[in-house]
């Protein structure tokens, strides 16, 4: 494990004097060079009209509104898909649409996206229009089939397109060719929010709300959903996404959020008034995702849609139980994965292949993505984990490391080996695929050859990147507060973490495998600092011989029984 500090150059930055010097350093290390790049107001967002396909989508929606046409929202089975679906239903209804329903394909019966089979299911409601959210850019066959049934399709998506685009009436996706929208990092819920914002503006221009004495909805009403979906989908938090997440967090902290989100926060034991972006990703997102992984994401969408606090709490409790079941399944799969790793023969005990491909016949389709993520973190290798599908197929989920665009890697393997992969799609860091079980060995060999050429030894070395060290006088609640409020932090805009050497005064196990510590700064040994190290390696800790430790940590404020106290969240620790 290598510990490295992020480089930064304050000479090229232009921050006003009131910006804390520590924050200037942190921002500079993340490529932020001036106050303008820190603007978190909605007015700083780029115009929806910059997005290709927006005018055609808005025009078609207004026709549907004026003709009272039936619309089916076709979502994805994760937190981004759930928030996108709920956002579409709520906002369209608030604008006057009367016939809006949602449909999410059960991942075990229909697979991903707008397939011909899911079109047939949607067609039972005789819709005039299908709107995809968080999917659809690769649904060429599904859109063609919908057209044969007389159903038009608007696609809203953020995934990378293939070589052929669907024949939809409109495609709204910043990643499609020739789209000049300034950011390509919106989540599916962000794309949906932009389409709805453009629609609301055009309806206002046409006098729709005034003529009918309708209350014009404020799009800010649903920023809690946008923030949740954006963080849960782990898209890069560029400035646009930071604005959306920040504004959503402000609404949640003020108690202006969906009853379902309030219920999920209550069950997770999170104080909404002090909510951080990480809480959305680690407390709320997994509970929504558990429904799609194990059962039906419709339960999560209903939790977000309901205005009834009692029903919201009931569905949130069901989601919480599903998440507990998911954790149990995942832990079992991790144990099986370690056994599978032991079976693999490598060139030596110390050399792993550049990419890990693992399969077990008993693994759960809905959880292999989480397993791949855990293995990626443990071994610092791209990972593809497979579960058994139907009729001799395998369903795979992949997670990558910096330096390898996993979707492009799958594309290269598919291009060089015709027919090897049935379907694939995704992002730079995560992708899904399916192939015949009999092709697994050939696929593994082809992917390993490709990745071995793409990554070097440095790429395959795990690194902990820090923001340097803190002075003793900076180890305070005030610093923790300043850092907390300077976010939102997330993917590609990481929460600040620091390194330092400390005296180890106390250590004990709490919970199943967490280490509770008391540290003292070597420059100020009279000051005790509480610390917690989650999911420790039991073979290394507790270490009764350790007297000094080198830590990588984040500053946190621990709330317990109404008391607040500074706490380190340990990211990495070694005895010295």
pLDDT for the residue numbered 425: 84
Separation between Cα atoms, residue 354 and residue 369, nearest integer Å: 18
**Can you say how many angstroms the Cα of residue 274 is from the centroid of all Cα atoms in its chain?**
21
DSSP for 509-522, please give it: EETTTEEEEEEEET
**Can you say how many angstroms the Cα of residue 519 is from the centroid of all Cα atoms in its chain?**
33
Final residue of a domain: which of 434, 454, 474?
Answer: 454
> Residue 325 is inside which H or E element, if any?
helix 309-343
Question: Distance of CA 29 to CAs 26, 468, 494, Å?
Answer: 5, 11, 10
In DSSP terms, 520 is beta-bridged to: 503, 528
Parallel/antiparallel/unpaired status of strands 152-156 and 129-133 = parallel
**Structural domain includes residue 181:** yes
DSSP for 381-407, please give it: S-EEEEEE-STTEEEEEEE--TT--HH
pLDDT for the residue numbered 524: 86
Final residue of a domain: which of 428, 454, 480?
Answer: 454
Parallel/antiparallel/unpaired status of strands 2-5 and 463-466 = parallel
Cα 351-354-358 angle, rounded to 5 deg:
95
State whether 448 and 481 are in the same domain: no
Q: Provide CB contacts within 8 A for 84, sequence distance 6+.
A: 75, 76, 133, 134, 156, 188, 189, 191, 192, 229
pLDDT for the residue numbered 346: 54
- CATH number, residue 415: 3.10.310.30
**Structural domain includes residue 303:** yes
State whether 391 and 523 are in the same domain: no
**Structural domain includes residue 485:** yes
State whether 255 and 383 are in the same domain: no
Using DSSP's 3-state secondary structure scheme, residue 178 falls into coil
Below-70 pLDDT ranges, the chain: 107-108, 344-350
User: How many CB atoms are located within 10 Å of the residue 324 CB?
Assistant: 12
Quote the domain boundaries for residue 188. 46-318
State whether 311 and 349 are in the same domain: no
State whether 484 and 450 are in the same domain: no
Parallel/antiparallel/unpaired status of strands 129-133 and 170-172 = unpaired
State whether 448 and 472 are in the same domain: no
State whether 449 and 475 are in the same domain: no
Q: What is the dihedral of CA 401, 571, 293, 270, to 10 degrees?
A: -140
State whether 119 and 227 are in the same domain: yes
Residues shown for the chain: 576
pLDDT for the residue numbered 350: 56
State whether 474 and 450 are in the same domain: no
pLDDT for the residue numbered 294: 87
Final residue of a domain: which of 426, 454, 482?
Answer: 454
Q: How far apart are the first and last CA of the chain?
A: 14
Using DSSP's 3-state secondary structure scheme, residue 526 falls into strand
Separation between Cα atoms, residue 546 and residue 88, nearest integer Å: 55
**Structural domain includes residue 332:** no
State whether 440 and 471 are in the same domain: no
For the purposes of burial, counting CB atoms within 10 Å of the CB of 512, is it exposed (0-12), middle (13-18) or buried (19 or more)? exposed
Instruction: State the residue for tokens 């690769």.
Output: 138
**Structural domain includes residue 13:** no
> Residue 355 is inside which H or E element, if any?
none
- CATH number, residue 529: 2.40.50.460
**Structural domain includes residue 386:** yes
State whether 352 and 482 are in the same domain: no
**Structural domain includes residue 41:** no
- CATH number, residue 169: 3.90.1640.30
User: How many CB atoms are located within 10 Å of the residue 392 CB?
Assistant: 11
pLDDT for the residue numbered 563: 86
Total domains present in the chain:
3
State whether 290 and 387 are in the same domain: no
**Structural domain includes residue 503:** yes
Cα 452-457-462 angle, rounded to 5 deg:
110
User: How many CB atoms are located within 10 Å of the residue 539 CB?
Assistant: 5
């Amino acid at each position: 494990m290598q510990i490295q500090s992020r480089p930064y150059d304050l000479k090229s930055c232009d921050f006003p004097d009131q910006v804390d010097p520590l924050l200037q350093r942190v921002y500079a290390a993340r490529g932020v060079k001036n106050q303008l790049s820190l603007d978190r107001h909605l007015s700083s967002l780029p115009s929806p009209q910059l997005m290709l396909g927006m005018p055609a989508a808005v025009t078609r929606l207004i026709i549907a509104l004026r003709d009272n046409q039936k619309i089916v929202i076709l979502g994805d089975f994760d937190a981004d898909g759930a928030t996108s679906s709920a956002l579409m239903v709520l906002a369209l209804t608030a604008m006057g649409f009367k016939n809006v329903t949602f449909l999410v394909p059960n991942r075990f019966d229909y697979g991903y996206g707008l397939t011909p089979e899911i079109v047939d299911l949607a067609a039972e409601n005789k819709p005039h229009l299908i709107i995809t959210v968080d999917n659809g850019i690769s649904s060429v066959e599904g859109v063609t089939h919908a057209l044969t049934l007389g159903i038009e399709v608007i696609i809203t998506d953020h995934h990378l397109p293939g070589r052929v685009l669907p024949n939809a009436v409109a495609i709204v996706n910043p990643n499609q060719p020739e789209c000049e929208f300034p950011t390509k990092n919106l989540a599916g819920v962000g794309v949906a929010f932009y389409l709805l914002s453009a629609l609301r503006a055009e309806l206002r221009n046409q006098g729709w709300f005034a003529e009918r004495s309708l209350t014009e909805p404020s799009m800010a009403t649903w920023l809690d959903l946008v923030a949740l979906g954006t963080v849960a989908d782990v898209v890069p938090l560029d400035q646009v996404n930071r604005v959306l997440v920040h504004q959503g967090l402000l609404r949640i902290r003020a108690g202006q959020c969906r009853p379902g989100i309030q219920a999920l926060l209550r069950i997770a034991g999170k104080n909404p008034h002090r909510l951080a972006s990480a809480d959305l990703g680690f407390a709320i997102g997994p509970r929504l995702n558990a429904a799609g992984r194990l059962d039906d994401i419709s339960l999560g969408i209903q939790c977000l849609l309901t205005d009834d606090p009692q029903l919201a709490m009931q569905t949130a409790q069901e989601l919480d139980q599903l998440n507990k079941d998911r954790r149990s399944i995942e832990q079992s799969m991790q144990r099986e994965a370690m056994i599978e790793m032991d079976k693999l023969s490598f060139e030596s005990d110390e050399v792993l292949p550049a990419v890990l491909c693992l399969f077990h016949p008993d693994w759960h389709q809905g959880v292999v993505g989480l397993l791949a993520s855990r293995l990626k973190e443990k071994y610092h290798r791209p990972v593809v984990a497979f579960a058994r599908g139907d009729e001799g197929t395998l369903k795979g989920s992949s997670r990558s490391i910096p330096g390898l665009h996993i979707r492009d890697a799958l594309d290269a393997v598919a291009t060089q080996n015709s027919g090897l992969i049935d379907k694939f799609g995704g992002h730079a860091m995560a992708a899904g695929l399916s192939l015949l079980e009999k092709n697994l060995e050939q696929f593994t060999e082809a992917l390993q050859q490709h990745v071995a050429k793409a990554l070097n030894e440095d790429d395959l070395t795990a690194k902990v990147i820090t923001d340097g060290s803190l002075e003793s006088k900076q180890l305070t609640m005030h610093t923790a507060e300043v850092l907390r409020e300077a976010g939102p932090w997330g993917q590609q805009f990481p929460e600040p973490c620091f390194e330092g050497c400390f005296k180890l005064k106390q250590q004990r196990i709490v919970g199943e495998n967490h280490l509770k510590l008391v540290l003292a700064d070597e420059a100020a040994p009279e000051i005790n600092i509480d610390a917690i190290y989650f999911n420790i390696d039991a073979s290394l800790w507790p270490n009764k011989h350790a007297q000094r430790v080198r830590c990588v940590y984040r500053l946190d404020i621990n709330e317990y029984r109404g008391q607040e106290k500074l706490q380190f969240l340990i990211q990495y620790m070694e005895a010295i």
